[in-house]
Structure 1
Amino acid sequence: MPGVTTSARSRPTMDEVARLAGVSLKTASRVFNGEPHVTERTAAKVHAAADELGFRPNVIARELRRGARSTSVGLLIADVANPFYARVARGVERRLRREGLQLVTASTDEDADLERQLTVEMLERRVCGLLLTTCLTDHAHLEAERRHGVPVAFLDRPPHGITADTVALDNAGGAALATRHLLAQGHRRIGLVGDLSRLPTHRERVAGFEAAMHEAGIADWQRYMRADSHDSESAGRAAADLLALPEPPTALFTTNNRITVGTLRALRDTAQKPALVGFDDFELADLLGVTVVSHSPEQMGESGAARLLDHLHGTPGAPRDERLPVRLVPRGSGERPPPP
């Protein structure tokens, strides 16, 4: 059927499919919507024309016009390049796929303004639910969306200003576990290299570290704390600063995977390496002999998705703050004794 062309820069339209098939636009629409009163021969002509042009119907737009729920769930995470968040997203996606739902993911880069913008964009895309790893300190703006039927759940960090389902780690317990392990090796001067001070995960892990140090009768622990390291480079500088002190720490606790990696780089050429325990397991940590506080990011993602699905199925229950367990994995770095 000559005479029908499509732009190389745009998707073909249903109108072009109808013209190529020699049918009306209404007939082509009936074919793609699966409506009755269309002969098999006509439907075959329409599908053949669609294949030739590369036309694909906009399923989401069609379902929304019918009043159906969107099949997409939005996930906002701090950094999709961080293996921790990549594993969280994998857990979310795995759970949603079983329900026929798709995941749309975006990174906030710990930028509050960007998080607000991305939240609006997700909602404008009519996602049927929203999962957040947030850096905001107020989430009251999401209350109206929830009243209009869009469920919201939080991962890794709790909300502020609203009550909502949260799935996070036992941050304080994990930090205390790591600190007590170092204390048990005989260390008293234990340094902490931490994340951004404004993040609740950082504050909870510092609280667990502080509790364990106070239990051991160590009151001046803060002189060995360096916070606001959010990447491996700044963590390396913070660790180097601690080791350059006149009385350096004999052990270090690093509060996330990237901080641990940066600290390892700082220790690379150090003759007398301090003991080290890191929060979060990471690739090659077993080969490098790094003692870690381990957990399952995939479980966090699956649990958060399950809570969202409860809302979508109409069985939400009361909002829960679920804390996932952590465990210490000794591999050698955390078992070094202090120097004599």
Structure 2
Amino acid sequence: MTTLSDENQGRPPRQRPTMRDVAALAGVGIKTVSRVINDEPGVTPATAERVHAAARALSFRPDLTAGTLRRSDRRSRSLGLILASVDNPFCAAVHRAVEDVAALRGVAVFSASIDEDPERERDLVAAFTSRRVDGLIMTAASTDHSYLRNEQESGTPIILVDRPPQGLEVDSVVVDNAEGARQATAHLIRHGHRRIAYLGDLSRIATARLRHAGFLAAALEAGIPTDQLRAIDDLHSEDAAEAAALRLLDGPEPPTALFASQNLVTIGTIRALRARGVQHTVALVGFDDFELADLLEPAVTVIAQDPARMGALAAEQVFARIDGGHLPVCRTVVPTRLIERGSGEIRPPATDWTP
């Protein structure tokens, strides 16, 4: 575990703006602000606009839980968990681990999927923070997280899991994606492959870019010419991955090995291999383990992450911040591991084999 200093962490959190603050800035009474916030009648359009302008200037968000969930310690006993997609096995494992840690403290976890949509991500952050969750754990789709600074400075602990922060110093729990991808590709190279294809997730996702970079780094280290490599990015579903893999397998000089950089991409790739009947002759390594991977024939070689460990560490870190410390920003790197099961150890045809 490594830590990074952050000047913001040494300062006490800024108090959240209140309705009283909005009223003072807008030059109206608190009851007027309440009517505007709750869309009640009896306020002129001009006055309502002044109130909205003041709320925007102060980054004010109404406390939807006031009077119900608040306790004497001003905690809501809840966390917000924002994931790429709750039905993805990786995200599901993170989700369960966060819930398990939170349950020990009697804390509820509210979760939602962003479906790789940065605008939806921002909407969910607003929805959760309006309900005054005590902390946020996020797998973010956005490429600039500086919009979270107001929440951070207001005292909401924010932990990014799986994907690194960009534009903001916050805690994170990640894996070394580039090294894991390099290890996967080097494994295929050691088994004699040079015509290797990479099937990647959305290129705007940081982890996908890092895995692509690791793939290229391993090929460069082995002296493989770039014209022997194939790469298809921006695949984010089983169907898209299957179609891409079929194009590669049906094309001229098809690859002798495939590296699938995400669990759903791996599943789509397996379907393509089976559709062409080459699952025993074309090697495959996937990034992320998945259920039943060890029961397929051949069983699937993977670079395995530990999403349950990542979720647990993220939850423990958010509670450490909730409990009060002005701690330095922490970046935790969870190791990956290569699991050899058979598909990644298939050698190329003798004419293509490189000792």
TM-score of the alignment, normalized to the shorter chain, above 0.5:
yes
C-alpha change, 1:217 and 1:146, in structure 2 (3 Å) is same
Aligned counterpart, 2:161? 155
1:111 and 1:269 mapped to 2: Cα distance?
A: 32
Aligned to 1:235: 241
More relative contact order in 1 or in 2 (CA 8 Å, sep 6+)? Answer: 2
> Where does residue 226 of structure 1 map in the other structure?
232
Corresponding residue to 2:301 among 270, 291, 295: 291
- Equivalent residue number for residue 75 of structure 1: 81
For the pair shown, which has the larger CA radius of gyration, 1 or 2?
1
Q: What's 1:310 paired with? A: 320
Which of 323, 331, 336 is equivalent to 2:341?
A: 331
1:84-163 equivalences under 5 Å are 84-163=90-169
Aligned to 1:3: none
**1:197 equivalenced with 2:203 (yes/no):** yes
Instruction: Answer with 178-187 or 265-274: which moved more.
Output: 265-274
1:115 is matched by which residue type in structure 2? E
1:321 match: secondary structure: strand
CA contact (8 A) 2:196 2:228 kept: no
Query: Which deviations, in whole Å up to 9, do the C-alpha atoms of 1:217-269 show, x marking residues without a partner?
Result: 01316851011110000000111111122111100000011000000111113
Q: Is 1:213 paired with 2:219?
A: yes
Kindly tell me the number of residue pairs found equivalent between the two proteins. 283
CA 211–223 in structure 1, closer or farther in 2 if over 3 Å, else same:
closer
Q: Distance in 1 between matches of 2:276 and 2:101?
A: 45
Judged with a 3 Å threshold, the aligned counterparts in structure 2 of structure 1 residues 233 and 164 are, in CA distance, closer, same or farther, namely same
Match of 1:43 in 2: none
**Partner letter of residue 118 of structure 1?**
L
Cα displacement string for residues 37-96 of structure 1 (whole angstroms, at most 9, x for unaligned residues):
xxxxxxxxxxxxxxxxxxxxxx98445264621100000001001111000011111111
Aligned equivalents of 1:142 and 1:222: distance in 2? Answer: 43
Structure 2 gaps, min length 5: 1-64, 351-355
Question: Partner residue of 2:61?
Answer: none
Superposed, 1:1-16 pairs within 5 Å as none
Distance 2:85 2:334 in 1: 21
Q: Is the 8 A contact 1:277 1:291 kept in 2?
A: yes
Letter of the 2:168 counterpart: I
- The partner residue of 1:282 within 280, 290, 305 is 290
SS in 2 for 1:337: coil
For 2:113 and 2:144, locate their aligned partners in 1 and report how far apart those are by CA, in whole Å.
19
- What residue identity is the alignment partner of 1:206? H
Identity across matched positions, percent = 47
- The CA distance in 2 between the partners of 1:119 and 1:228, in whole Å, is 25
CA apart distance, 1:317: 2.0
